Each structure stands twice: as structure tokens, then as C-alpha cells.
A and B are shown apart, each in its own frame.
Chain A
Amino acid sequence: MRKAQLFSLESILSIVLFIIVILFLLSFWNLYSSRLSSQIHSEELQLQAAQVTDILVSSRGYPDAWEADPASVVIPGLMLNPGSLDEQKLNQFLALDYETLKQLLNIERFDIAFELRDVSGNVLENRGNISSTADEAVVFQRLMLLKNQTRQVYVALWE
């Protein structure tokens, strides 16, 4: 009689239910933890991509005339005037070694692709291709002038 009262079906059920709820909460916790980490990672990727895009299209680079001696380049900026790309800088940039380019932009942890497209979206020039196996790629687009023609500049970054 007493035995039945202590180890009743209800008490066993309540313990099992308690364990199930705890396991459920733990799995949710792990899910949200992994989402948080991927969001942090994604934000870092976005910030890096934004900075790299800005450096490329909004600065002349260093030295100012680095296109004359590409081996001396420290920062590979492509701007001629605000809103315009320098064709010579662009050509030298496209000729840069991929690993050197990543070193110059301090993005060795990531991969980068650069594309120049016309207003219809046709690819005119590119440097690297976005990996189809990348989990997440961040792509920034800027409209720039190149020899008085509107061009779309795409910079993609992924890990």
C-alpha cells in the first residue's frame, strides 16, 4: 500500500516529464547559441565587406599613384575622383595576385570576389568567383563611373 503511494505512476511520470522538459530546454539553448554565433560571424563578415568595399571604391589607395608601381602598393584603392573609378588602378588591381590582394586588405581569413558589371548586369571584369559551397557570402554593390559610363561594382566576401 505504502509502496504504491511512494512510487506511484504519477511520480514516475512527473520525473520523466521533468527530464523531457530539461532536455527540450537544453536543445533550444544549443540551437539559439549556434544561431547567435552564426549571427556574430555574419555581422563581422558584413563589417569587413563594407570596409573593404569602401576602401576600394572610395579611396585612391596608398601610394596615391600605386598603379605606376603595383609592387609598392599598400592599400589598393581604385578611386579617381569621388564616384569615379581609375581605369589604370582597376587594371592593376585585377592583375594583382589573389593572395597578395587578401594580404593587402587584411582579409586572409576570408575569400574575396570582385566584379565590375555594366548597368544591365553583364560581367565586364572579375577577380575571383564566389564559391558555390560557401555557407554565407556577403555581397556589397556600389554604382561608380568608369570613363563616364555607369558601372556596378560588386565585392563579395565569404569564409
Chain B
Amino acid sequence: MKKAFATVEAVIFIGIIFFLFISSYIVYVDKSADIFISQRELREKSDCQRVASALSSIYILGSGSAVVIENKQEMTLEAAQQRIETNHTFCTFPVGRVFSSTLESTPLDITENNVTISHRGAYVEVLQ
């Protein structure tokens, strides 16, 4: 009789322990996913802001200035909106005279490659 009680309680006890560890594991998996997403967004944001800063700096430096940036993210430059979009985040820049190698109104897809930003007379040009 006592043995039977002990077995039921043992099952309950092990169940509680199992539940606690499963809960902890679910929390761990959830937080790991959060870290992964945060890291990815931070990386994208950082690269996005690097290009945005370069656009502003080249504009301020004036005609003839140029810089080549090693880009490690796929992004889209929307010159008309003064905005750069990456897969999961975006950044903006205050310079309203940016042209891509296509047209101001056409977004320029920037791949993982070198990007050349230069000041040509009245506008800043982005080439890849």
C-alpha cells in the first residue's frame, strides 16, 4: 500500500521536475531566438547607418569627395525617401540630393560588395 503511494508521488514529483526543466528549456529557446534577432538587427542597423553617415559626410565635404565602403549587407537605397532599407530594419539620412546609378525615383539594390559614394557637383551619387 505504502509502495503504491510512493510510486504515484514519485511520478508527480518527477512530473514537476520535468515540467520545470521543459519550461526552462522553452524560455531558453525563446530567449536565444530573441538574441539572434537582436544581433541580426544590430548588424543591419550598424551597416545601414555607416552608409547613411557616409552619404551625409560626402555631401558636407563637397564636390570631388568620394569614399568606397565595404558593404556586408543587402540593402535598398530609396533616394527619394532619403531612406535605406535592410531586410529587417531601416535608417534615414538628412541629405535630399542623393542619386543612385539608376534614377532618383528608382530604389537601388545594394549587394554585399563595395559601394562608391561620391559628390558630383549638385548631388551625391551612389554606385555599385
Mark A residues whose CB is within 8 Å of B. 1-3, 6-7, 11, 15, 18-19, 22, 26, 29, 33, 36, 40, 44, 47-48, 51-52, 54-55, 58-59, 62, 74-75, 104-107, 109
Query: Per DSSP, are chain A's interface residues mostly helix, strand or loop, or mixed?
Result: helix
Bound state CA distance, A47 and B53, in angstroms? 8
Asked if residues B27 and A51 are in contact (CB atoms below 8 Å), the reply is: no
Bound state CA distance, A19 and B24, in angstroms? 9
> Which residues on A sit within 8 Å (CB–CB) of B5?
2-3
Task: Known A22-B24, A106-B92; judge A54-B56 contact (CB<8 A).
Answer: yes
Asked if residues B49 and A106 are in contact (CB atoms below 8 Å), the reply is: no
Asked if residues B97 and A62 are in contact (CB atoms below 8 Å), the reply is: yes
> Which residues on B sit within 8 Å (CB–CB) of A7?
9, 13
Q: Is B60 an interface residue (CB 8 A)?
A: yes
Output the nearest chain B residue to A75 by Cβ-Cβ distance.
B96
Output the nearest chain B residue to A58 by Cβ-Cβ distance.
B60
Asked if residues B34 and A104 are in contact (CB atoms below 8 Å), the reply is: no
> Which residues on A sit within 8 Å (CB–CB) of B53?
47, 51
Task: Known A48-B92, A51-B94; judge A26-B34 contact (CB<8 A).
Answer: no
CB distance from A21 to the nearest CB of B (A): 10
Asked if residues B20 and A19 are in contact (CB atoms below 8 Å), the reply is: yes
Task: Known A55-B59, A55-B60; judge A62-B96 contact (CB<8 A).
Answer: yes
> Which residues on A sit within 8 Å (CB–CB) of B27?
22, 26
CB distance from B120 to the nearest CB of A (A): 13
Output the nearest chain A residue to B20 by Cβ-Cβ distance.
A18
> Which residues on A sit within 8 Å (CB–CB) of B96?
62, 74-75, 104, 106
Task: Known A26-B27, A104-B96; judge A6-B10 contact (CB<8 A).
Answer: yes
> Which residues on B sit within 8 Å (CB–CB) of A22?
20, 23-24, 27
Bound state CA distance, A54 and B55, in angstroms? 12
> Which residues on B sit within 8 Å (CB–CB) of A47?
49, 52-53
Question: Scoring B residues 56 to 94 as 1 if CB is less than 8 Å from chain A, else 0, what string do you get?
Answer: 110110000000000000000000001100000001111
Tell me the residues in window 81-128 of chain B with beta carbons closer than 8 Å to chain A beta carbons. Answer: 82-83, 91-97, 122
Partner of B93, one of A33, A36, A106: A106
Asked if residues B13 and A74 are in contact (CB atoms below 8 Å), the reply is: no
